[in-house]
């Protein structure tokens, strides 16, 4: 898979060095420096012993100009795996600089899933050119992969797998594995299929190896197989691997026939990607992030979210405007009102965060939704009372008016109770409506807590103080 270069010094062959971070800031600086001085050989020497994934990280960390220089210096020595491992925004820019024929050559060397991943974001004309430059057999497999929906099992699977009939014995399997050339690069299980090529069992390699040659496959196979329909969403595939600790899984078509396999290393990437998407969406950033986009692309993406936020902020301001006269008479209200809104927003965000995450991991469902909603209302109420007392006391002392403390305390209880309920109901409702709650729940929530916070506080003030 990788360069056979030993990462360990010969004198100390076995000192554990925890080589988790091969791409150190120092390495990036030295490579950039060499490229700036046009010493391509020096840069290549620094890069030569790196794993493809580390080269990809290095390219991502370099300035765009240095990145192009390094790609050019690497030339045909560029490992296709590097292209597959690149962040998609960086990859798009790198591929622009490479001829379709070279991309085709790289794609032909990769697993089907990685090859599809490599060219899926190219524009149609460019994609066609690359596909036409590929060997026919590879092209067909990649085209078949691209025909499945984005983020489906069909995109994720490799078309190479190992399948045997159930009447074979261990010896036959081993002999066949030794003789057959066209096998996947990596596999952890042997799939057992019936005459119509439908999986009926799996045999982990460690089990096949530990049994005598004459042992029949049907006697040692697992029959509780976790099959992946080819149209299954990758998030559900990842759930299944995580839930059942799978190393690989057979992918089957609508007729139940074996089409390919998904291995756990691909699933690790999916899990990282899905978690990243949730984190980004909760923070109001597009799912794939924008670290590697240029400022203008970044502004374009982020401003959409900020426009929505501006609208909600104006709604909150309209709420305040209702009570303009009240504020004119008691300016202390203007000073204190952000506290009520802010506390509601934060308490609601806590509930929302737990709810969004639990929905993603299937821990929050229709079965326990009502119970958890009730719990969040209790939590909101109790926290409301606690912070009503604290904030009320602070406000009363600050402005020398116990009645102001009473008003802010009551408003705090109302807003934190509402925050707890809204923090659950909004994501539950969005989820039921088929919308990803991570994307939009936060904006609805803070609109609610701002409006309720300002309205309760200023409204109560008008009622009680004037």
Among 161, 191, 239, 444, binds a copy of itself (CB under 8 A): 239
User: Contacts with a copy of itself in 400-459 (CB under 8 A)?
Assistant: 446, 450
Residue 163 CB, nearest approach to a copy of itself (Å): 13
CB of 133 to a copy of itself, least distance (A): 27
Q: Find the part of the chain contacting a copy of itself (CB under 8 A) among 40-48, 116-124, 136-144, 279-287.
A: 279-287
Distance, in Å, from the CA atom of 115 to the CA atom of 327, rounded to the nearest integer, reads 63
Distance between CA atoms of residues 270 and 238, nearest Å: 7
CB of 403 vs a copy of itself, minimal distance in Å: 18
Q: Does 57 bind a copy of itself (CB under 8 A)?
A: yes
Q: Which of 125, 136, 137, 367 forms a contact with a copy of itself (CB under 8 A)?
A: 367
**Shortest spacing between CB 346 and a copy of itself, in angstroms:** 5
Q: Which residues pair with 203 in a beta bridge?
A: 190
Following CA atoms 449, 450, 451, 457 in sequence, which dihedral angle do they give, to the nearest 10 degrees?
A: 90
Q: Residue 381 class from Cβ within 10 Å (0-12 exposed, 13-18 middle, 19+ buried)?
A: middle
Site residues for a copy of itself, window 379-398 (CB under 8 A)? 379, 382-383, 386-387, 390-391, 394
Stretch (H or E) spanning 202: strand 199-204
Tell me which of 38, 97, 243, 403 binds a copy of itself, using CB under 8 A.
Answer: 243
Burial class (CB in 10 A: 0-12, 13-18, 19+), 273: middle
Near a copy of itself in 188-227, by CB under 8 A: 188, 194, 196, 198-200, 204-206, 208-212, 222-224, 226-227
Q: Could you give the string, one character per residue 27-46, with x where binding to a copy of itself holds by CB under 8 A and - elsewhere?
A: -xx-----------------
What is the 8-class DSSP label of residue 293? S
Nearer CB in complex with a copy of itself: 47/134: 47
Minimum Å distance from CB 85 to a copy of itself? 9
| Nearest alpha-carbon partner for 107 in 77, 71, 133, 68 | 133
Q: Which residues are paired to 229 by β-bridges?
A: 252
Shortest Cβ distance from residue 290 to a copy of itself (Å)? 6
> What is the 8-class DSSP label of residue 100?
H
Question: Is 113 an interacting residue with respect to a copy of itself (CB under 8 A)?
Answer: no
On whether the CB atoms of residues 201 and 166 are closer than 8 A, the answer is yes
Nearer to a copy of itself by C-beta: 1 or 125? 1
Q: How many residues bind a copy of itself (CB under 8 A)?
A: 156
Based on the number of CB atoms within 10 Å of its own CB, is 16 exposed (0-12), middle (13-18) or buried (19 or more)?
A: exposed
Q: Which of 134, 146, 339, 373 binds a copy of itself (CB under 8 A)?
A: 339
Q: Is 366 a binder of a copy of itself (CB under 8 A)?
A: yes
218 burial (CB, 10 Å; 0-12 / 13-18 / 19+) is middle
Q: What is the DSSP string of 370-421?
A: HHHHHHHHHHHHHHHHHHHHHHHHHHHHHHT-HHHHHHHHHHHHHHHHHHHH
C-beta of residue 333 within 8 angstroms of C-beta of residue 458: yes
8-state DSSP, 162:
-
Select 335 or 435, whichever has its Cβ closest to a copy of itself: 335
Residue 100 beta carbon to a copy of itself: minimum distance, rounded to whole angstroms: 27
Q: What's the rounded Cα separation, in Å, for the pair 1 and 205?
A: 20
Binding-residue pattern over the window 59 to 88 for a copy of itself, x denoting contact by CB under 8 A: -xx-x-----------------------x-
In the complex, what is the shortest distance from the CB of residue 122 to a copy of itself, in angstroms, rounded to a whole number? 23
Q: Which of residues 127-186 bind a copy of itself (CB under 8 A)?
A: 174, 177-178, 183, 186
Piece in contact with a copy of itself (CB under 8 A), picked from 131-139, 143-151, 251-259, 429-437: 251-259
Element (H, E) at 203: strand 199-204
């Amino acid at each position: 898979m990788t360069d056979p270069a030993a990462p360990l010094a010969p004198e100390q062959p076995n000192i554990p060095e925890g080589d988790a971070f091969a791409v150190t800031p120092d390495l990036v600086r030295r490579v950039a420096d060499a490229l700036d001085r046009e010493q391509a050989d020096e840069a290549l020497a620094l890069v030569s012993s790196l794993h493809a994934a580390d080269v990809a990280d290095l390219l991502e960390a370099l300035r765009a100009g240095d990145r192009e220089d390094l790609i050019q210096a690497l030339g045909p020595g560029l490992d296709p795996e590097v292209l597959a491992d690149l962040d998609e925004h960086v990859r798009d820019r790198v591929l622009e600089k490479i001829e379709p024929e070279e991309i085709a050559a790289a794609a032909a060397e990769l697993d089907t899933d990685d090859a599809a991943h490599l060219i899926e974001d190219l524009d149609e004309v460019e994609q066609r050119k690359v596909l036409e430059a590929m060997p026919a057999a590879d092209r067909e497999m990649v085209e078949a992969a691209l025909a499945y929906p984005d983020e489906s099992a069909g995109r994720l699977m490799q078309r190479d797998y190992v399948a045997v009939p159930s009447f074979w014995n261990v010896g036959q399997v081993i002999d066949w594995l030794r003789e057959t050339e066209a096998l996947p690069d990596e596999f952890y299980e042997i799939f057992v299929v019936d005459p119509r090529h439908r999986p009926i069992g799996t045999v982990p390699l460690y089990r096949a190896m530990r049994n005598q040659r004459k042992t029949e496959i049907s006697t040692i196979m697992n029959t509780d197989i976790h099959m992946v329909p080819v149209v299954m969403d990758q998030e559900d595939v990842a759930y299944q691997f995580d839930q059942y600790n799978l190393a690989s899984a057979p992918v089957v078509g609508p007729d139940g026939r074996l089409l390919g396999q998904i291995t756990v290393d691909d699933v690790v990437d999916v899990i990282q990607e899905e978690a990243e998407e949730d984190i980004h969406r909760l923070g109001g950033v597009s799912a794939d992030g924008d670290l590697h986009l240029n400022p203008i692309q970044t502004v374009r993406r982020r401003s959409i979210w900020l426009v929505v936020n501006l609208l909600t902020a104006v709604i909150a301001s309209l709420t305040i405007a209702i009570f303009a006269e009240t504020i004119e008479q008691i300016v202390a209200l203007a000073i204190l009102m952000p506290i009520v809104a802010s506390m509601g927003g934060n308490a609601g965000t806590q509930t929302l965060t737990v709810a969004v995450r639990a929905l993603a991991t299937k821990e929050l469902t229709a079965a326990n939704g009502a119970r958890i909603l009730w719990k969040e209302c209790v939590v909101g109420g109790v926290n409301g009372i606690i912070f009503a007392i604290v904030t009320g006391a602070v406000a009363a002392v600050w402005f020398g008016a116990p009645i102001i403390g009473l008003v802010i305390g009551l408003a705090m209880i109302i807003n934190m109770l509402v925050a707890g309920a809204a923090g659950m109901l909004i994501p539950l409702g969005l989820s039921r409506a088929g919308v990803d709650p991570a994307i939009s729940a936060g904006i609805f929530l803070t609109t609610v807590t701002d409006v309720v916070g300002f309205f309760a506080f200023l409204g109560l003030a008008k009622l009680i103080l004037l």
